Each structure stands twice: as C-alpha cells, then as structure tokens.
Structure 1
Amino acid sequence: MSGTSERPQPAAVAAPHSATPSVTECHALAVQDARSPAHKEHSDRAERGDYRAAFNAAQLPMAVVDRRGTVVTVNDALAELIGTERDSLHDRAAADLVDLASDDRTWHAYQEVLRGRRSRFRCTRRLKHPDGRALWAEVTVAPLPDGGSVLLSLTDISERRELQARLRHLQMHDPVTRLPNRTLFFERLSTALESSYDHGRTGRIGLCYLDLDGFKAVNDTLGHRVGDRLLAAVGARLTECADNDAHSRDGHHLVARLGGDEFAILVEDSAGTEQLADLARAVLAALQLPFDLAGQRLSVSASIGVVERSAEGTTPTGLMQVADTTLYWAKADGKARWTLFDPERNAHRMTRQALSSTLRPAVERDEFVLQYQPLVGMADGVVRGVEALVRWNHPQFGILAPNRFIGIAEEDGSIVQLGRWVLRTACLQARQWQRDHPAERPLFVSVNVAVRQVWDSDLVADVAAILAETGLAPRLLQLELTESAVMGSAGRPLQALQALSDMGVRIAIDDFGTGYSNLAYLSRLPVSVLKLDGSFVRGFRYDDGVHPNPADETIVETLVHLAHRLGLTVTAECVETAGQAARLRRIGCDTGQGWLYSRAVGPERIAEMIGVSPLKV
C-alpha cells in the first residue's frame, strides 16, 4: 500500500440490478429508438393509451373537438352529464351540447379558438341535468398540442352560483319587508327605460312614490320593533295592490322599499295617467285600513307622488327627481293624498330655485333697481312722497316684480342684505331730489321693511348710519311693515320700532285691514301712518255704473275717523279711478297711491313731478 487510494474505473455496462440507466445506456437506447420505428410507434401508442385512460377516467367532463367544431370523442363524465351514451355524441356539433351558439359574442369567440386565432375561451352556461335540475357550468375551450383539435371541458359551478345568488338577494332586498331595495329598484328602472322601445311595449313608464305620514311617531312611541312590523305589513299591502293592478292589465309592477318609510311602485309599460291614478287610490284605501300588529292596532296614511310619462328622454335620476318633488307637493297640500306631477307647477318651482340660488350674488352684481310710485295729497293732488319698490333686473328672466323674490329673500335671510341696499339707495335718491330742487318741499321716501330685518340685523343702527351717510332728515324716511308683523310686535321688534320713531322716522302699517285689525293695539304702537289695503278701495266703483259696496265705504270711513282721532294719517292704496279718489277725498283720506296718479317709475320721472301743477284727482 502506498498510502493513496486507487480511483475506481466506471463500468462499461450497468449491472443488471441497476435502477438508473447509465449515460451510455441512454445513448444506446436513443440510437435504438432512432433506428427502430416500430419501437417508437409502440412507445407512442402506450403514451396515447395512458392519456386516453386518464381522459376517460377523469371526473371533469371533457370532449375532444376537431377544428370544424365536431365532437371526436367525449369522456364518461361528459356523457353522464348530458345523459346519453358516449358513442351517440360522436360527430355531433360541440356547440349544441353546451349551448355556445345562443349569442353572437360567445359564438364568435368559440369560432376564433377553432380557427387558431385565439388561445383560450371561457364562458358560463346554464344546462339541464338529466334528472331535471338546472346546472351551471363554466365551459373552457383550448387548443390541444397536436394542433388539429381542441379540448372542451366543463366545471360544475352550481354551488358557487347558488351562493352568489343568495348573496345578491341579500344585497338587493330589504331585510325588514323582504322587498327589493333601492339598488335593485334603480337597476330595474334602468332596464325598463332601456327596453321601453322593444316591440309590443307602450314606451311609457309610471311611478308611485310614497312615504307614510307620521311614521316617526310610531317608532318614537311604540318602538322600532313595532315600527318594523308596520313597515312589513305596509309592504305586503302595497304588493297586493300592485299585483291586483298588474293582473287586471296583464302587466308587471315592482314594489320596493327605498329606505326609511319610503316605498315605490314601478309600473312598466304604463297604460296612461288613469292607470297610475287608480293604483294610487287603491294604495291609499288599502293603507287606511287598520293594521293589527301583535296586539297593537294602528292606522296610518300616506302621501303619494305620481309620475306618468313617455320613457323617451327619461333618465332614472330625472324620474326620481320629479317624483320626489310631487311627493313634496302631496305633503304640502295636506298629506293623506296623492298628487300628479304638474309640469307647469314644476317650472315655477324650478324658477324659484334658480332665483334662490342667485339672489345673494345678485345684490353684489348690482342687478337690483328701484322704481318709485308717487304718494299724492288727496286734497290738492300734489306729490308728497314716494314709495320705493325694488325690481330685479335678472339676466335670464328679465325684470322681476317684488312678489317673485321677496318671499325667497325672507326665507333664506338675504332680505337683510337686500333691505339694507334698498334703504340706502332710496335715501340717497331722496336726498338727491332735495338737492336738485332746493326751493320745493322735499319728498319723503317710504321703504318696505320685513320682520326678519328687525330680528336678524340691527335695523336701528342701520337706519341711523344710512341717514347720517346720506344726510337725509329722519322725518323724510317712512318705514312700512305689514299689519300682521306690527300688530304682533313685542320685545325686540317693538323696541326697534319705538327707537326708530323716537329718532323721527315715520312708521307705517302696510295693507291695513287684512290682518289682525286689533284697533285697540294701535294706541300702544309707535305708528304714524295707516295704509288701507287696496281691497277696500276697489269696492268704490263709481265710473262703471255699479253701485258701490256700502259695507266697504262704511269700514273705510270708520277707519279714517279712528286713525285721525289717534293722530295718524291715512293713505289709500290702489286708487285707479277719479270716482274712487273723489269718494276717498270726501271721507278724509290724507294721501292716495295708485295708477290714477302714476305707476312705479324711474327717479328721473319723479323729478319731473316735483314743483309742477297737481296730478289729476
């Protein structure tokens, strides 16, 4: 031994018991395969046999399909699924087995795979099992390596589809009433509008949108458990009404709970307004019947907005907007009723909304102007003062009278900003007339004031600041408030009126005779002028030959005498005829205002009236 080991030499041929062939053996076998076609053919047949055995034994339904779409062979699983013998499926069109020709998109994709232009195609199909039950299958079509055929396989996804359906049902239905919820309602509404032009359909859509009157009181007093039972019972009655109407007209309606106590009945293929009106009446009658809820006997009512229109040009959002508006009308009109959508009424609302949204910026953009109507002395016909009347020069709607926007301004609070502008502008103008005609008796200016101006601003401070700024004497400013506002004055409003009166500003009650008419209250108010409402003056009809209303004359004469006894002056509004003016003058009215003298005009026209001969009386 030399101390070094001898490297073993590799054997030329592997031992018979060797599990792994050597490199030399593999090479030899490869050469043998290359030189022996019979051996290779035998090997290929064995391999194909293995694949065929696996194909037939697989639980996954499969079929081999040639490039023409004809079935070459199927496995046992597919034959069992179809419910027939394997041999009977040979040479049949594969598309017929799994319904691949039912729609153009699926058919086109399938043909692309057959022609080798697409590597894979997958779709879902609903098949009928031999035992009668429905089966959902995912169909996959993919080319086989041989290049001359494709493999069609099916995966049973029925359980997954059933789970998805249950989840969708939970997602799309209200858990309290079991009715479709808002999501499903809008889905159905969109589908109904899109398919309204299909042959045989009316092309019209109808909607009853309702909520329960006073439902919150049920929850607050009896609890949400009773409230939920009531909602479920209401849903059941609505469904019955909808089904009865749909059955009588061979249609189909959808009843949905949109949230809270709001429900909707969608009428596809509406037959017209009368159908929706009949349905709304039936719903009201059904809901008015008492509900017996686990010992609780309840009676409810509902307000319903009804919309019926052509589906053309209608969107889901647009339909719901008008339905919501109509429901609001039903509630505003007294509840427990149904109201049909009125385009003219809606146009007025839309105009009002447009005015409301642009009212505040309009003051800053100088879109308002003042016109002035003369207040004429009844005894001599001379202009004593003017009433400032605001107009809105709207860029879209033109010149708007105060009755179009003053109410809106009072609601949203912009009357404070607008009123301050009117007061300042009127005082500036009155002072300008005074400067331009220093030798003439100065005109006083009368400005309307809303009660909200007294509550939401410091009216006394505003008036004082404006008078100081313009240099107008307080006695030349008259503030007009409505009778209902002044007669109920107390606290801050009364203190403001008193402070203004102490300042020297005159306070006038506008439209006197239409409100409280609490005559005894007059003696305790800082009022200096009564403006008789025009409804009294219109009773003085001499020029048309009709005998005047003696009651009106008696009331006016009594009010004038009472006012004079209290130290007040009286202005008659709406004087339109010389006969009216003559009678008012004999009764003792101090000043008159109306078209007999002049309409509201610009400041330059008033300037022409100062210092001229008396206006006609």
Structure 2
Amino acid sequence: MKKFISLRTKILISYTVVFTLFFLCLYWWSYRSSMKRSLERLTNNLKQVAIASSQQIDTEELKQLFQEGKANEEGSSDDPRYKSQLQWMEKINQLHPNIFLFTFTHPNISQLSPTDKTEIIYLVDVWRGKNPQKSVDFLESAPATSYHLQTLAEGATVYRNFYKDKWGSWITYYAPIRDSSGQIIAGIGADMQTEEINEIQKDIRERFLSFFVISYPIFFCSIIGLSHFLTTRLGKLQKYAQAVGEGNYQPDIDISDTNFMFSVFRDERMVLSKALREMAGKIKQREDLLNGIFNQVAVGIAIHDVDYRLEIVNNTLCKLLDYSENELRQQSGYFFIHPEDTVSTQEYLREICFSTNLNPTSVEKRIITKKGEVKWLEITTTIIGEREKQCFVTIFQDVTKRRFMETKLIEAANTDFLTKLPNRAYFMATLENLLQEAKNTPHQLFALLLVDLDNFKTINDSLGHLAGDKFLIDIAYSLRRCLSSSHMVARLGGDEFAILLDSITKVEDAIAVAEKIQVEISSPFYIHNQEFFTTCSIGIVLSHNQTTNSPYLRAEDLFRDADIAMYQVKNKGKGDYQVFGREMYDDFIRRLQLQNDLRKSIEKDNLIIYYQPIIDLKTGKITSIESLVRWQHPELGFLNPNKFLPIAEQSGLMISLGKLVLNKACNQLKQWQEANLIPENVCINVNVSEQQFEQGNILQQIKDVLNKTQISPHNLRIEITESIIAHQIQNITKILSEIKKLGVKIAIDDFGTGYSSLARLRNFPLNQIKIDKAFVKPLNTHPKNIKFLQGIITLCHNLELNVVCEGIETETQLEILQKLNCNYGQGYLFSKPLSREEFSLWIINQT
C-alpha cells in the first residue's frame, strides 16, 4: 500500500504542478492582454481628442493672440480671446474629465527644423483653470523636445508615453494646428495623468485576483479527482509488475477487472494487461534459460559483495571446490583461497574497486578444495551496478592442467632433455645475471669452464646413439660430483658442457676444479658391459677480462674466450685444460684473419694445386698423380697445407675447398691427356675430407666433375683418411660402394696413423692402401721395421689391395720396398710436389 500511495502522491503532485503552471500562465496572459487593451483604448481616445481639438480651434484668433502678446512682450489671461480659447478646451475637458489640453508654438515656426534646440512657447492651458500653480502661464517658455519639434516642423501626430516633468507624470498626444491655408501655426497637446491609468489597471488586477481565488480551489479538486481516477487502476498494474519483478510470475492479482469509469479505456486496458502477462511469461522463460546457462556453464561463477561474501554460486563452482551450495553461500570467498595467495587476492579486489578500467583483468591464484586438493584457478572479477547497489561477479576457471603444462614447458625450455642439466638458454641467462651483479661488485670473481669431450664421436658412431646418450648421462653425473652445490653445470649441446664457478678467490680455484674433472672423466665408463675411456678438453676463463684488464660485460665474450682456450687444448693434443690469456686472443685473431683470407681465396679461385707422381716400383713408370693444395698468401707468402687445412676444417670451408681441388685436378688431368703428356691409364688422386662425406654430397660432386671434364672414372682415385672409417660416418659403406660402381678407385691415405685395422678394412670397397711415411723412414736403421712393414704389405696383398709407400727419399728405402714386393712408391726420391708447369716439364723429361 505504501508504494501505491507514493504513486498517487507523485501523480497528484505532477498534475498539480503542471496544471497550476498552465493556469498561472493563462491567468497572466489574460491579465496582460486586458491591461494592454485598456491602455490602447485610452491612448486611442487621447489621440482622437488631440486630432479633433486641433481641427476645432479658431486659428485666426489664436494667431492674433500670440502675435499681439509677443509684440507687447506680455500677455494676459484676462484677454477675451484667451478666455474664448480656454472655454472650448474646458468643454472638451468636461466631456473627457481625465484629458487636459494645451496649445504651444515656436517664435520661428516658419523656419523650424526637427533638430532645432530652441525653446517652445505655451499659449493656452486648460489645467490653469483647475490648478493655476501646476499650469503654465500665457507665453511661458520651455525647452523644446523632439515631440514638440516633430509636431511643429513636420506636422506629425506624436505619442509620448509615460514621462515625468515638473507638473507631474503623464502620457501625451501631440497634433499640429493648421490655418486656413494649411500652414502649421501651432501645436496642441492632450495630456492624461498616469495616476488615472494606474487606477484603471488596479481595478483590472483586483477583478482577475478575485477570479483566481474563486476558480483555483475548484480546479485543484478536479485534479485530485483525476489523479484518484488514474492511480486506482495503475495501483493494480503496479502491484502486478512489482510481483513479477520479485520473481512471482503468476501473482494473484486481477488486472482485468475495472469500474465503469475505465470502460472508456477498455481497449488500452486489455492491451496493457495482455502485455504484462506476456512480459511475465517471457521474463520467467528468460530466467529459466539464464539459470540453466548459469548452472551448466563450464566455469565457476559467484556473485558476492565488496567483502567477498558469496551470495549466489553456480553448480560448476560447487563441483570445482567440492562444496555444496549451502556450504558456500554467505561464506567469505577467502576461506578457500590458498593462505599464501590470500593477501594478493585481497589486493586484487581492492584494485578492482578503485580502478577506472572498464575491461576486467584476470589473476591466477591457488585454492584448496574441501578434499584438501590444491588447484590453480584463473579469477576474473567485474563490478556490476552503481556505487550504492554494487555487486561483484567473479568467474573461476580451472587452469591447473595448463599451469602444469606451462611448468613443464618452462622446465623443458631451460633443461636439457637427455641429461636433465640446465640447457644453453638457461645457462646464458644465469651468466648474464651474474655479469650484471658483478658490475656492482667489481671485486667479485667467478670462472667459466667450457668442457668438450675428446673423441666422443667415435664412441657414438661405433656403439650407436643410444649408447652415446647413456655415455652423456654418465658424464653429466660425473661432472655434478666434481662440483659443489653453489656451482652450476649445463649441457650446451652435443658433447659440450659449461660450468659456472661462482665466488672464487683466485684462478687456482678454477684450475683445481678442472683437474678434478680431468681425473673423473679419465676413469673408465661401462656401457653394455664394455669398458671405455675418454678424456676432455677444458677452456677456463675468469670474469675479469685478460685482454682488456677489465670485467666482462657480455656473456658472449666470456664464451668466446673460453672457446678459444678450449680449442687451444684441442690443437695441442686434447685431454688437458687451458686458462685463457692475452696471447690466445691474439692467436685467435690471427687465425680468424687467416680464415677470412682463406674464404676469399677459395671464392676467387686463388689456391694452387701441386702435383706429385706415384711410381710403379717394378717398372719405374708413373701410374698416378696426387694433387696437393697449396696457398700463396698475399702477405704471408707460400703456405703449406698444415698451416691452413686445420682452419678450413674448423670453419666449415673444407667442403668448398675440397670441391675446388677436385675440379681443378680433374681439369688438369684432362689437359695433360689431350696434350698426350701422360698415358691413358694414369690416375689423378684427390684427397677427400671427412666433412665432404658428412655434409658435402661427395657422390654427386664426383658425378658432376666426371660429366664436366669427360675423363674416365678409372682415371680418378679418391683418397680418404682412416678417421672416416673409424668414425663410422652414416652410410659410409654405401657411399663408397656407389663411388666404386662409377668406376672410381678408392684408397686409404696415411694408413697406420689412425684407428683402423686391416681386419676392418676388408668391410669397405677399397682398391689401395697408402702406408704413412712414418713406417718407411726407419727402414734404414731398424730391421724389425722391415718385418713389420712386410707383414702389412703381405696382408694387404692377401686382401687384394695394392700398396703405396709414402715418403721414399733414399735408394736404400727403394730397394727394400722392391724386395718387400711393394707395388708403388711416392716421395722426394722420385719428385717433390710440383706446380702445374713444373710437373709438365717433369713428365716431358721422363719420357
């Protein structure tokens, strides 16, 4: 009932205000119109009196009266002519008691202009008979106004509205007085005091006020009746709508009944009632749909107040937390938040309350379910409503699996999958942070150790990748044993590891760790019940840069210098450690410059091929020619292969270098054949590196050069090292077999210096064995060497392999090898390596 009365009151006030304003506006308009009309009637009457009076005046008499009075410079109101003029003015005053006439003229009326500033002269004034003190005397002068001048100069009828002078407050109409010839001789004014007008207006106001006092109560009662008429029906409709708003979609309120007064609005009532019922049905249908969505949606939803007290929760949230709806309602949402995340969750809600950002932000927090299970939830809170009636809607989404996967991905991104050690990325980030800390503590010293396993490829290729992986896992475990808990070891990739020694005091601390690692790594490892031994090369660099005598600023520079020190060990024979020093950096720069020069020389085809003959020891005739690469450096002069081939191998230039030598050697053989300088059966021997087999597609290169030069495949022999076989490069047997099918011959170069045995060589499609000069040189002094070499030659012959002995320099060595039935020989005894031109001359001389 309270809301119904409030509605009636609102309608009553609204109608009262509206209609009262309307009534007042109407009253004011009527009042102003009446005032205006009354004033217009008065002024029109005043105008008519002024005009009529100007036409009735005896102009000749008035003219004489003025002229004689002016000539004598005096005038008298006792003059009969004056009284005659005054009499007819008084008659008009009797007819119009509130109108007073007077006449006036100007001394120079014939020459008067509207802008003249002289004075006018009053002639006859009817007011003089009523109140001589307030009237003007005959021929009294007064300042001329624009109204006087317009009347006298222009002959206009002029109205002067509400003005004051020394005689009172007036409104006046001025009219010209003309003689019989139509010439203006004077003017007449019709005055009316404003007190008369005010009395008339006061009377009008009193009549209108009486009307308002009588009619407004009647009007107000009508408004009350109309508001009651309207609010009685609206009350039921309001109650019905209020019940629907409170969730009762079928209230026990009849909104179809009405009294006889509503019959006028029957159609409108039926439409409104039907619309309310349809609205209630649709709202219930929509609410049922929303409740279904609310409880079936895949995320938890809670509606709560600013204190996080839960008011409404959906089924998904109940299942997520393992609580019933009754257990959650009216509970603080903080009770299921993980204790370590409670404070941050409170700060999050506080930020939501004071934030002006309309886009909701999300946070991820831990919760504890009723069963004690810890889950990660993504929490998104949104404010709904105005400040006075705010509520908070929070969405909870289970992201436990995603967080688990993210953790695993982070671990995978920072951890080596095989050894479970930190990987390169994590190690580099840690090293960068340590360098940043070192800027603030310049006296702090730490060391980086770069560890590279020696000959790991042999183990990996010989036993397979699974065994190699097991070996790397054992190595990682061994490295951990050598370090304290504050130190860090990471696998950079392949067989390369990095160690970070934090907070050391001197270089000897790093050396002690390196020596401990050397001992540990040199201990035997057992893989598939087989015992293996290995060594490692270690490069050591301190955080204080030895080349600039200042702390390192970048992790890349630290790694570069550690790598230089480690490769210094590799070049010296492996299995040792080396502390980085300035001289290493200088050597590195020299090697880098030499590498760049070599790259340019290969690109510009500036390398030189030297040739050395291989002689049949029985006939003394040339059977093959070995091609040997040389480099004429523009600054360093003539360089032997041992000066630049290791650089080519380390920098990846060996593939392009080998391809260059192969093409040049085959082209040169073709030229000698076309010049008939060598027999058709003579071969050209070309050395092929391990990198060419691994990455260079050597089979296709051989096919291309044979097609290009059109030499016979039987005229080409490739020489490979024992390491290619020992390392068991993938598909090496297949590649060599394909090369042999082409008709190309294959030889093992420098046999005896590597890891292979004759027993293993029988598994490969070889044609020839070249015995290293180290076995030939001691033949003059050591008889045992002769027997050893004889055994090798005999075994090779049994394997159907031709034998070439390298490094023959004396006749004695030649005689011994001939007796040992060695097939071919190569060495300075026959010829040193010669340039193309020199070798051409040598062939000519031999023939």
TM-score, normalised to structure 1's length?
A: 0.50
Q: Which has the higher contact order (CA 8 A, sep 6+)?
A: 1
Q: Which has the larger radius of gyration?
A: 2
